[in-house]
Structure 1
């Protein structure tokens, strides 16, 4: 961290601008609230304080998350011991409340060297306080969009003098920039939770019709801005067929999750009791999207697993794809085949064209596997390479139940952190 230069007022001002630019650039690197709070605490140490904490309030006004930093990493354990073990801190609580309510910094230029037992219990907590040796503190509110939601606490220790007017003004500006960054992260996190909640509420457990074993998996993207568009669905029709759907809405976040919910409901409704096959369902969905001006683009695959015809346990799989990845079939011996068909347009694309149904027999012991592109394109592989990798990972898993097969497939293909949503739907013919 740069310190003020000694070449007069102009040099001090340049250094201040450089420091504030560094603060702004660092705090805009992440939309994760915890990461941004940690970064803010580190940015003010040691320039403005020997020890700093960032305290963020929860939505109901109760204490929420916090972050801390110390100029001496060896004293972080003392900071943690003090923060976790103090019984009460009436002086600090009053200063925090005053800063939040007034929107102005609260400066305590002298701290009592020997606090009473109501604030510091004997033992490790008092020993930590003595090691830290705090002498003054500055509480600066964190605000954005007209409301306060946290406090930046700056503590100076030992023989370091209290902050002067210039440092107080600089701390206020740092807190202003930090407040904007943290509020953006909080709002983005709230949006992400809405998208995840909406998506998970729609990804329901599959049915288990006689003669079939169904399993599904969904893994959200680790990156906060990539959640929202993948879905699966499975349900029975009155004619005895089991309908399978998998798809991926173009886009991410709350908008994609809302579009996914709308599209999933449309496909489910139109596929349930219509005499149409999968291609007819997709055609009807296209008409709905166009007629209602929904403006959603998505890949989707609709499949019917037909009931046995009475001559044996063999099933017929009938499917149609709107630009989605082809189905995979794992045979009873562990081999995998890809049911590739000529590509057809995505849902929501305003282009003429006839959708087609395709059929194949599914024998007892075979497993149909449908996936989204988050599984195929992991590691930035192209589609052909990714499909080959997924097929290779499926090979030899025919003895596993459908649930265990999905888990093993994800373990073999995905890293611990994935950059895109992943949905998997597996159907074993018994």
Structure 2
């Protein structure tokens, strides 16, 4: 416009016949480029979502299954599998599948999972990405076992952990019927890199949890012979990695022929809580042997001692004596802010022994500590437990206690070792806290002295 010329009319510029100076073919190419960018953006966002989904899992089996299902979603595959290599690297020792219908699974019943022959074995021997538009035509193909769905296409990618091949991810049959392409391969290769990190994290989680559990078990006592009583206990760590807790149990025969049983929980989930638990348990043992006093007096003295010479956290505990009472037995106990014991009688009844719980240790040594007594018939079982067995953020505590009581009655005929394991395996909590559980069974009537 500086030289006085009129601006060109639409369609008068180079390549007239388009809009704003672009031809229709050029506009088509630009639209296609924008569509390609939008598609790529969606795939990248999908990949990031998939990586986040995998990283949320902490248990190795859940991580492996999530890898398969997210890879299927990313490329629209109908079938997916992940083969885990044996440590020798020569064959598959585990095979996780997804996408099979119930009928397809039924038709494969009795067929062993692939060990790494055929095309799957080719990827083991040559861990580069593999795309096959027709599996049957691949030189390494050996066919499918009877009942296996007919698969035509395959995308295989190796998964490495710390530079070593961990396993192979297999995808088959895009839902749109097209073969896998280079874009599919690239995005699954990227996912496999993140999967290797997630697998390594899950393995470290398992190692940390195993070490924490081993450390905790070293602090807990091995129950001695408590004849004529039968006793069994179990400890389970929390699901968080490296979670060392303060839950403990103990049961000892006292010089006056009574049996002392204790269950306790130090606040916290760290080494300080574990050390405080060990201190408290050892002090309590010493007091039990030194003092022939009611449980309330023992707990009062324990509270005074702990506050005088330690900086231990607040602790809940329940201390009980099971004493002879004519032809039966008497439970004599005192609680320091702990959950009530559960009494399961031979007639199939379960009752929580609700009573004044007292205050936890480390709160106020001036407050009185109550004692409670309850007859216990021959052949009865008393269950002591920490709150990790019943606490669930989505359920009221009363419901969880009722679920535990029903479970305790249902399995009351089991031998005591199996009994405590069953309660621990089927507990109504969410597993966020560690669990200590001890059960003591009085002699049957004919065995009562």
**For this structure pair, what is the TM-score category when the shorter chain's length is used for normalisation?**
0.5 to 0.7
Instruction: Report whether the alignment pairs 1:67 with 2:82.
Output: no
**SS across alignment from 1:132:** coil
How far residue 138 of structure 1 moved from its aligned partner, in angstroms, is 4.0
On the 8 A contact 1:217/1:423 being kept in 2, the answer is yes
- 2:123 aligned residue: 92
- Deviations, residues 92-137 of structure 1 (Å, cap 9, x unaligned): 22224xxxxxxxxx23456782646xx84xx8539959x3234x64
Higher relative contact order structure (alpha carbons within 8 Å, sequence separation ≥ 6): 1
Equivalent in the alignment of 1:107: 129
Q: Distance in 2 between matches of 1:337 and 1:91?
A: 62
- Which of 401, 420, 430 is the aligned partner of 1:419? 430
Q: What residue in structure 2 maps to residue 101 of structure 1?
A: none
Kindly tell me: are residues 199 and 264 of structure 1, through their superposed partners in 2, closer, same or farther at Cα, counting changes over 3 Å? farther
Alpha-carbon distance, 1:333 to partner: 8.0
| Whole-Å separation in 2 of the counterparts to 1:269 and 1:39 | 48
CA spacing shift, 1:17–1:302, aligned 2, 3 Å: same
For the residues of structure 2 that align with 1:32 and 1:11, how far apart are their CA atoms? 35
Please give the TM-score of this superposition, normalised by the length of structure 2.
0.65
**Equivalent residue of 1:84, what SS?**
coil
User: What does 1:160-179 correspond to in 2, within 5 Å?
Assistant: 160-161=178-179, 163-164=181-182, 166-179=183-196
- C-alpha displacement at 1:70, in angstroms? 5.1
Change (3 A) 1:162 1:259: same
Distance (Å, rounded) in 2 between the aligned partners of 1:60 and 1:289: 56
**Residue 145 of structure 2: aligned partner:** 125
SS at match of 2:442: strand
CA distance, structure 1, for counterparts of residue 171 and residue 198 of structure 2: 22
Give, in whole Å, the separation in 2 of the partners of 1:258 and 1:60. 39
Give 2:252's match in structure 1, choosing from 235, 250, 256. 235
Quote how far apart the aligned CAs of 1:244 are.
0.7
Q: In the alignment, which residue of structure 2 is the partner of 1:326?
A: 340
Whether contact under 8 Å (1:221, 1:418) holds in the other structure is no
Report the RMSD for the aligned CA atoms in angstroms.
Answer: 5.2
Deviations along 1:162-197, one digit per CA (max 9) or x if unpaired, are: 642x44442233223333333333333333344555
**Cα distance change of structure 1 residues 221 and 60 upon mapping to structure 2, 3 Å threshold:** farther
Residue 34 of structure 1 deviates from its aligned partner by 1.4
1:267-289 CA deviation, whole Å, 9 max, x = no partner?
56434522264345444367458
User: Among 54, 75, 82, which residue is 1:27 paired with?
Assistant: 54
- Given that 2:342 and 2:351 are in contact with CA atoms closer than 8 Å, whether structure 1 keeps it comes out as yes
Cα deviation digits, residues 273-326 of structure 1 (max 9, x gap): 222643454443674587454x44432111223457xxx556554432221123
Q: Which residue of 1 aligns with 2:396?
A: 381
Secondary structure of the residue aligned to 1:44 is helix
Note the C-alpha offset of 1:236.
1.0
Q: Does 1:262 align with 2:278?
A: yes
Gap runs ≥5 in structure 1: 97-105
Shift of 1:406: 9.6
Which position in structure 2 is the counterpart of 1:247? 264
The corresponding residue for 1:99 is none
- CA distance in 2 between partners of 1:78 and 1:215 (Å): 46
Q: How many residues align?
A: 396
Match of 1:189 in 2: 206
C-alpha distance in 2 between matches for 1:87 and 1:263: 58
Q: Secondary structure at the match of 2:126?
A: helix
Following the alignment from structure 1 to structure 2, what is the Cα–Cα distance between the partners of residues 230 and 209?
Answer: 25
Answer whether contact 1:222 1:417 (CA < 8 A) is retained.
Answer: no
- State how far apart, in whole Å, the 1-side matches of 2:235 and 2:302 are: 30
| Aligned-pair CA distance for 1:243 | 1.2
Q: Does 1:209 align with 2:227?
A: yes
SS in 2 for 1:175: helix
After superposition, the C-alpha distances for 1:63-84 in whole angstroms (9 at most, x for unaligned) are 6644234598877777996952
Q: Judge conservation of contact 1:318–1:357 (CA < 8 Å) in 2.
A: no
Distance change >3 Å, CA 306–CA 60, structure 1 → 2: farther
Contact 1:326/1:370, CA 8 A, preserved across alignment? no
Larger radius of gyration: 2
State the TM-score, normalized to the length of structure 1. Answer: 0.67
Structure 2 counterpart of 1:300, from 290, 305, 317: 317
**Would you say the 8 A contact 2:68–2:97 is kept in 1?**
yes
Indicate whether 1:345 and 2:359 are aligned: yes
**Contact 1:222/1:419 (<8 A) preserved:** no
* Preserved CA contact (<8 Å) 2:226 2:252: no
The answer for unaligned runs of 5 or more in structure 2 is: 1-31
